[in-house]
Amino acid sequence: MPDATASVLLLGATGQVGHALRRTLAPLGAAYAPGRAAVDLTDLKSVREAVRELGPDLVVNAAAYTDVDGAEEEPGRAARINAEAPRVLAEAARAVGAWLVHYSTDYVFGGGKRAPYTEADAPSPISVYGRTKRDGEKAIRAVGGRHVILRTSWMYSRRRSNFVRTMLRLAGENDRLTVVDDQIGVPTWAGWCAEATASVCERLLTGGDAPEAGCYHLAGTGQTSWYGFARAIFAQFDRLDVTVEPVSSDEYDTAAPRPAYTVLDSSRARAAFDLPGVPWTAQLARFRKRVRAAGGEHVARG
């Protein structure tokens, strides 16, 4: 186990993964999770000062500009949060000798493959969001220091805007929905991601045989389309009264283009950090059980 006096700086603690990380990181040491008023990623000075003043052993950055369509309208803000802030975090973490754990996305890939992407595949983003996240990765690598970049995909939870909540909300308003069937990826439950991240962080803090710095994919096994995901959601939440019809991306207009295929191969992370391979369907089932246990039948509103 890591040193009980280890200190952790967690950014983005109100987001989907960040909120779950508050629980999973707690056994690793004293955690400081400042709100946006204290550390605003658009204010690079506050980012730098937070790391310098705390002098943590570990910095976990779960904050990001994640509005894929919004980034097309606010490229400067997206770049500041997704690329410039991670660079400053990497510099500050290196200065105090801390590990930096930073999340990235499957959208750094352009979707041209038809086999799961590995860490050896070159990013080729097709949206502003994807480009700013790629630039954040590049900035962290350029700084060097002790860092781990975790690419994940299709995140959902009971918090914030995400596909699961959107589908359940729409199911309450309509008995027939159309969902894109030609974009393929791996859904990821934020609770599982936070648990896996805690295992990664524990290995980093123990030292010794800690895996090397770099980029790792962190997603479950299997793959599906948004249409397939929607059908699985309605099956889990007993909404079989809703009819779901598949449509192509051409029939669904968005401000930002979406890659057609972004399945992540996470075998490297599983081997490096001794993580189990968990199917995305099993993650969804656990999420449903967690919602039921919390008495939260109305996840679309919660």
Mean pLDDT, the chain cut into blocks of 10 residues (302 residues total): 74 95 92 86 92 95 96 97 97 96 98 96 98 98 95 95 95 94 98 97 81 93 98 95 95 93 97 95 97 72 42
What tokens does 10 get?
Answer: 């967690």
**Confidence (pLDDT) at 301:** 46
**Confidence (pLDDT) at 300:** 53
CB 68 within 8 Å of CB 18: no
Tell me the chain's radius of gyration from C-alpha atoms: 19
Residue type, 107: Y
Q: Mention every residue, 6+ apart, whose C-beta is less than 8 A from residue 96.
A: 51, 52, 55, 56
**Confidence (pLDDT) at 296:** 59
Q: Mention every residue, 6+ apart, whose C-beta is less than 8 A from residue 248.
A: 180, 181, 182
- Active-site annotation holder among 129, 216, 227, 261: 129
**Confidence (pLDDT) at 95:** 97
- What is the spatial distance between Cα 59 and Cα 202, in angstroms, rounded to a whole number? 13
CATH 3.40.50.920 fits domain 7-161+187-220+264-278: no
What tokens does 261 get?
Answer: 């295929």
CB 201 within 8 Å of CB 58: yes
Q: Is 156 among the catalytic positions?
A: no
Q: Mention every residue, 6+ apart, whose C-beta is less than 8 A from residue 279.
A: 220, 221, 222
Residue type, 53: E
- What is the spatial distance between Cα 163 and Cα 260, in angstroms, rounded to a whole number? 17
